[in-house]
Structure formats: structure tokens, C-alpha cells
Amino acid sequence: MPIIKATDVSCQRGQFTLFEPVSFTLAEGQSLLISGANGIGKTTLLESIAGLRSIQLGNIEYKSIDLLKSKDQWFDDSFFIGHKTGNKKELNCLENLRSFLQIQGIDVSEKQAEDALDKVGLAGYEYQFAGSLSAGQKKRLALARLTLIKHTVWILDEPFVNLDVAGCDWLLKLLNQHIDNKGILIITAHDNPSIRKKITHELVLEMQR
Amino acid sequence: MKPFLSLVKRDLTLGLRKKSQIYQPLVFQLLVVTMFPLGLGSGAKTLALIAPAVIWILALLASLLTLDQIFKNDYDDGSVESYVLTSYPLSMAVMAKVLAHWLLTGLPLVLFAPVLGVLLHLPSSSYGVLMLSLLIGTPIFSFIGSIGSALTMSLKHGGLLLTVLVMPLLAPVLIFGAGAVVESALGNSASQHLLLLSGMLVLSFTLVPFASAAAIKINLE
Amino acid sequence: MKKQRTNAIVTLYHKLGSPPSFYRISGYFLKWLLLISIALTCWGLYDGLVLAPADYQQGDSFRIIYVHVPAAWMSMFIYAVMGIAAIIAIIWRMKVAEAVMIASAPIGAWFTFLALVTGSLWGKPMWGTWWEWDARMTSELILLFLYIGIMATYGAFSEDARKAARMAALVAVVGLVNLPIIHFSVKWWSSIHQGTTVSLTGESHITWEMLRPLLYMAFATKFYYGYSMLKRARLYLLETESQKKWAHTVITENK
């Protein structure tokens, strides 16, 4: 039973349609890798699916509800991490992690947040300002959110970028676990071949003719 | 209510850590006020005459310095996503942002106004009305400013555009705000002005969050 | 290319305001709008500047109202049209409404500017000064700022015309809600600060001979607006639809 159903979806930049319309369906425990050349619109598509942008061409249904009509259920069940990490450089790691999720209505205790930081290898950095972290550590801080949420659909834009080998391994394990728990994953990851093993669907975006 | 309070708390923490957002507008006001006697001459009468208008215009200009920051920082670092991608209404998040902005920049302007009043020889009977009018008026700056900020958040240099957008909309606030202080300085009742000013606050409270939310959504496209 | 599915509301509005049919239909009107507006302007100006009697107080200088008043009327009329188009553009995302909205702004701004300049020219003999902070003039000036804000917003997002148009539309709607407040507060403000000033369009008994040219000019400016707005709106549609077949055909045919 498909949970997400996208029909003839494409995105526009200015008046230009970016790629040939794509369709896909995803059910529990399935995952979608979006690939394609640079500038083809992977991020734009991902942001449209996440609901950050509106869907300009075609439509997407979640549990048979058109996202153009209501996104509430979709927002409750999906979680997006994009290019921008969403960390505030004047807040420390604990505050960043907790406030980001609390603003979305997800309660996170200090203990839970500490555990999450521990899992992503940021133990000892709890009270360090996010502004002083390295790019990889900032990414880890953002990804730590994934260990604290119960959303079924994860939408991740290039989550492996900036991560070291250990970080990639950890993330891969986390994603596998999510899929095994009947979660859904929509991801772009152009430089990570090992993610493909677990991927059930792949979408290659092509230039609009 | 919890996401709302979390957002207010986060912004207050950020503001109190950066502080420049709080004291820079006040320093700006102080500097400009110093220029008036230097330019006009130190005649107490002249200064007292222009004091209400000068203090109100300075409050307007000082808040313009910080208005673009309401959404711009969140857009730049991506944390705007935390309140766009939820089923909680975006207009509530706008309210939280406006409240935090006002507490950090509007309230200090209200509290600092008497100092400017002293420097400009404002008649002592007008201080109450001055602070009250600013107390009602500065939140309107933050509200209307949030629309401008939401519209310009994705621009690198949106400051001037924001000024062009916001200034004409704030003209009525200036008319009644400064008008209230002038009336009280003349010994008249300012209640009519203050009531109209309150009306504008209520109106912006009810309408602006939706306008700003719409602007954020269009801007993210 | 595959046929793209859109939802019901969008389909309905596409029928009502599809860019190619708007482009085609408006094409028939352009010439007539321009001709009528030129004819009415010539007639109106002749009637106003030559036939109408001189004012017993102001002499011939009153004749500037035949430009000033229609321009001031247009500055508000166009804002109203633009505001309505902006609401439609935001709520229903109708491209034709965006086009009408964006096309109206510069025309409205020019009429506002014209009203301000002619008002100032008239002010010299009337008030003895080029500028008086009279309620109408002040409102008109703020209206010009609103127009400038709308155009500046559109210009700031030039990389994506449609997004720019929707942003500008939002500014227009916010301005539309504020206009009555601005108008009222400026009137109040001027009544406190200056007592009674001589109003530019005073209640002085105006004869039919004096009124008639004003009506001609009021219609002439409306036709001109129709012409200029459609012309600009068509250009906007061609630009934003330049990837579509119909626009391509139009462009190659007109080469």
C-alpha cells in the first residue's frame, strides 16, 4: 500500500522547467534515492517534497491527501534536513538541538539531548557554541535530530557531505535502522555508493527536453 | 503554546548573547540627538518644540536598524525551516518572532526615551505620554517591520528596500504617536491620539502575522 | 511533452485567464484603446484649454486641473485595480492577474508623479509656494512611495519573475489595507496642523463648460491606462511563458 504517491512532479526556476516530470510511489520500509547532474534540481525537488516550496507542476499525495490541500499530516510525519543546518552559532550544541525540535513541538529533555549528542560523537561539546564547530561537526549536530524524532518519513539532502568515514558509517547504520523499522527515506547522496545497497527506488532526473 | 514559547525563548537567548542588537540602536539615538543642538543651537525652546517629533522619528529610525534581522538570520542559517515545516501555524511563529524582537529592541527604546526627552528639554508633563505612546507604537514597528523583513530575508542587501516598504506604512503611527506627545506638551489631552494608536496596534496584531507568513512562504519558493 | 495534471481550481482559472487567449484577445483591443484615448485627449484638451471659460478668481491657471485631476483620479483608480489583481494573484496564483498587477504599477506611479508635479505647478500661483503639506498632496506623495515600494520589490527578485510578481502583489495588498488608514490619518494630521488650506479641487461652483473637459480627460486617461497596461501585461506574459509554444510562435511571427 503506497503511502507517498507523486505524479508528474517537476520544478521550475524562473520560467524554466528544470527536469522531465517524475512519478514515484513509496510504501513503508521503502527508500528513494534522487540523483542527477549538478544543477538539475535535486535540492529544489527535495525541498518541494518536504513542503518548503510549493509543488509547481504535478502533485504529491500523502496517505491519499493532496499536499496542495493540506500539509498538516505530512508535516507531522516527515522530517527534513537540508543544505543549511539550521544551527544558531550563538547557541551551544545542547541548546541548538533542543530549541530546533521544541519549536516544532517536539519535547526533548536535556538528558535525551545529551544522549543524542553522545551518539553523533559530540560528547564533550555540549556547551560549545555551534559557531566554533567544524563543518562536519555542524552536520553531525543537525543529524543528531534524527535520533530524537519519531517521524516516519525522512527527507535528507546530501546528509553525507562533510562527514568523515566514521560519521558516514554511523549515518548509514542509522538510515538502515530507520528503513528496517518501516520508515521511509528520501535522499540525495551523489558521492556515497554504499547507501545504494539499501535503496529500493532510484530516480534519475533528466533535463527537460 | 509550547512551540511559541520555545521560539520566543530561543530568540531572547540569542539577543541577550549578542547584545549589539539591543544597545546599538540606543547609541545611534544618543548620537543623533546630540547632533540636533549642534545644528539648531542649544535654545531650550526650539529643542522642546521639536522634541516629540525628533524622539519619535528616532525611535522609528532606530528600529529600522534591526528590523531586517527578524527573519534574515533564520533564513541564512536555515533555522526558518524549523517553524515553516510544522503543522503549527506559521502566523504563530511570526507572532513569537515579533514579540521577541519587540522585547529586545522596542522595549529598550521605550525605557530610553526619557533620557532623550531630558536632552531635548521636553516639558516634564509629557514624559508619561511619551513613554505610553512609544509603548503602544513600537510594537507596531515590529509588526509592520516583520512583513518587510519576511519580504527581504532572501536578499543580500535588503535594508534599503525594507525601509522603502515599511516607512510609508508607518506614517500613520508617527502622526498619532508624535501627535500624542505634542498634545500633552501643549497641556491638552492625548487620549484621542493614544486610542487611535491602540487601534492600529490591534489591527496589526490581527492582520500582520498572516501577511508575514504569506511573505515567508512566497520567499522560500 | 506529457500533459500535466493540475487540480480543479487551477484548471478553472486557467480557462478564465489563460495567457495565450488573454494575449490574443487583448491584441484586438490595443489599437482601439490607443486611438480612443488620443482622440479623447485632443478633444478634452481643446475643450478645456480653449473652449472652457476662464475662472473668475484664478484666471487661466485653473486649467491645469484638466491634467492634474484626471492624473490624481488615475493614481487611485490604478491602485484599486492593481490591489484587486494582486489579491487574485496571491490567492489563485493566476498568471494573468500577476501580469495586470505588475503592468499597472509603473503607470500608476507615473500618474501619481504627474499629479504631484501638476499640483506643485498649480500651487505656485495658488499658494505662492511650490509645495504645501496639504492633506491631498501628502497622501499622494505617500501613494507614490507605495508604488515605488511595489516596483522596487519586483525589481529586487528579478531572477524569478513570477516569484517577484507575487512578492510585489503582497506588498500591493498590504498597501491596499493601509491606504484608508494613511489617508484618514493624513487628513486628521493636516486638519490639526494647518487649519483650513485651500483645497486644490475646491467646492467652487463649477459650470458644465468647465466640467465637461474634465470628464473627457477622465475617460481619455482610463483608455490610455487600458492600452498601456495591456501592452505591458502582454510583455510580461511573453517573458514568463517564453518556454511555451504559443509565446514562441508569437515571437517568431513578429520578427
To the nearest whole Å, the CA of B165 is away from the closest chain C CA by 5
Task: List chain B residues with CB under 8 Å of A86.
Answer: 77-79, 81-82
Which range has the worst mean pLDDT, A51-60, B170-179, C100-109? A51-60
- CA A10, chain centre distance (Å): 19
Residues in A closer than 8 angstroms to C240, CB to CB, are 15
Which residues of C, range 161-190, sit inside 8 Å of A by Cβ?
161-162
Smallest Cβ–Cβ distance between B171 and the set C142, C153, C167 belongs to C142
Instruction: Give the range among A41-45, B98-102, C173-177, C227-231 with minimum mean pLDDT.
Output: A41-45
Q: Closest chain B residue to A70 measured between Cα atoms?
A: B87
pLDDT confidence bin for C9, thresholds 50/70/90: low
Determine contact: A105 vs chain B, CB below 8 A.
yes
pLDDT at position C133: 85
Question: C142-179: per-residue pLDDT in tens?
Answer: 999 999 999 999 999 988 888 999 999 999 999 999 99
Between chains, do A91 and B14 touch, taking CB under 8 Å as contact?
Answer: yes
Q: Locate the chain A residue with the closest alpha carbon to B5.
A: A103
Cβ contact (<8 Å) for B3 and A102?
A: yes
Asked if the Cβ–Cβ distance from B82 to A100 is below 8 Å, we say yes
**How far, in Å, CA of A199 to CA of C135, rounded?**
68
Inter-chain residue contact C4 with A13, CB threshold 8 Å: no
Q: Cα angle at C223 between C221 and C229, to 5 degrees?
A: 95
Continuous segment of H or E residues that includes residue B163: helix B159-185
Rounded to whole angstroms, the Cα distance separating B162 from B167 reads: 8
The interface predicted TM-score (ipTM) is 0.91
Partners of residue C183 in chain B, C-beta under 8 Å: none
Cβ neighbours of C183 (radius 10 Å): 18
CA distance A85 to chain B (A): 6
Measured CA to CA, the distance from residue B135 to residue A124 in angstroms comes to: 44
**Residue A46 near residue A155 (C-beta atoms within 8 A):** yes
> Residue C1 has what pLDDT?
38
State in Å, rounded, how far the first CA of chain A is from the last one: 33
Q: Which residues contact A117 (CB under 8 A, 6 or more apart)?
A: A93, A94, A97, A123, A125, A126, A141, A144
Contacts of B179 in chain C (CB under 8 A): 189, 192
pLDDT at C6: 55
Interface of A to C at Cβ within 8 Å reads 7-8, 12-17, 21, 57-59, 66, 68, 209
Q: Which residues of B touch C109 (CB under 8 A)?
A: none
**CA distances in angstroms from C231 to A133, C89, C125, C225, C226, listed in the order given:** 55, 19, 38, 10, 8
B2 touching A (Cβ < 8 Å): yes
* pLDDT the model gives residue C10: 59
Which residue from A minimizes the CA distance to C162? A14
- CB contacts, 8 Å: C7 with chain A: 59, 66, 68
Residue with cell 548509514: A172
pLDDT (average), residues C8-25:
72
Spatial separation of the C-alpha atoms in residues A75 and B36, rounded to whole Å:
54
Q: Which domains does chain A have, with CATH numbers?
A: 4-204 (3.40.50.300)
- The pLDDT tens digits for A130-183 are 999 999 999 999 999 999 999 999 999 999 988 899 999 999 999 999 999 999
DSSP B38: H
CB-CB under 8 Å, C159 with A14: yes
Strand, helix or coil for residue B127? helix
Residue C164, amino acid = A
A95 pLDDT above the threshold of 90:
yes
Q: Per the CB < 8 Å rule, is A66 touching C7? A: yes
Interface contact flag, B196 C185, Cβ < 8 Å? yes
Tell me: the pLDDT tens digits for B142-157?
A: 999 999 999 999 998 8
Q: Which residue of A has its CA nearest to B9?
A: A99
Edge-first strand order for the sheet with A201-204 is A78-81, A153-157, A184-188, A31-35, A201-204
Percent of chain C with pLDDT over 70: 87
CA dist B123 and B185 (Å) reads 6
Q: Report the C-alpha gap between C112 and C115 in whole angstroms.
A: 5
pLDDT of residue C61: 80
**Those residues with Cβ within 8 angstroms of residue C185's Cβ, 6 or more apart along the chain or in another chain:** B171, B172, B175, B176, B196
Chains near B (3 or more Cβ pairs under 8 Å): A, C
Of C145, C157, C163, the CB nearest to B168: C145
Secondary structure E strands in chain A: 4-10, 12-13, 16-17, 22-26, 31-35, 57-62, 65-66, 78-81, 153-157, 184-188, 201-204
Answer yes or no: do C189 and B175 touch at CB < 8 A.
Answer: yes
Residue for cell digits 505588475?
Answer: C102
The answer to whether A17 contacts C239, with C-beta atoms less than 8 Å apart, is no
Predicted confidence (pLDDT) at residue C193 exceeds the cutoff of 80: no
Mean pLDDT of chain A: 90
Q: What is the pLDDT along chain B (221 residues), one digit of tens a residue?
A: 789 999 999 999 999 998 888 999 999 999 999 999 999 887 888 899 999 999 999 999 999 999 989 999 999 999 999 999 999 999 999 999 999 999 999 999 999 999 999 999 999 889 999 999 999 999 999 999 999 999 999 998 888 999 999 999 999 999 999 999 999 998 888 899 999 999 999 999 999 999 999 999 999 98
User: Considering its fold, how many domains does chain B have in total?
Assistant: 1
Chain C residues at the B interface, defined by Cβ less than 8 Å, are 90, 142, 145-146, 148-149, 152-153, 156-157, 160, 163, 166-167, 170-171, 173-175, 177-178, 181-182, 184-186, 188-189, 192
> At residue A62, what are phi and psi to the nearest 5 degrees?
-120, 120
Mutation target to probe the B interface, by most B beta carbons within 10 A, among C174, C176, C177 is C174
Interface subset of B 121-150, CB within 8 angstroms of C: 147
Query: Residues of chain A with pLDDT > 70: what percent?
Result: 99
Of A47, A95, A101, the CB nearest to B13: A95
The beta-carbon neighbor of A105 closest among B3, B14, B220 is: B3
Which positions in chain C touch A13 (Cβ < 8 Å)? 160
In order of A42, A178, B94, B153, C252, the CA distances from B7 in angstroms are 30, 29, 10, 18, 54
Chain-chain contact of B214 with C185 (C-beta, under 8 angstroms): no
The reported pLDDT for the residue numbered A157 is: 92
Whether C5 and A15 lie within 8 Å, measured CB to CB: no
Q: Which of residues 59-98 of B touch A (CB under 8 A)?
A: 73, 76-79, 81-88, 93
**What CA–CA distance (Å, rounded) separates B114 from A41?**
55
Cβ–Cβ of C7/A68 closer than 8 Å? yes
Q: Does B174 touch chain C (CB under 8 A)?
A: no
> B169 vs C174: CB contact, 8 Å cut-off?
yes
Q: Is the pLDDT of residue C196 over 50?
A: no
Domain ranges of chain C: 32-193+207-254
Q: Domain containing B169: what range?
A: 2-219
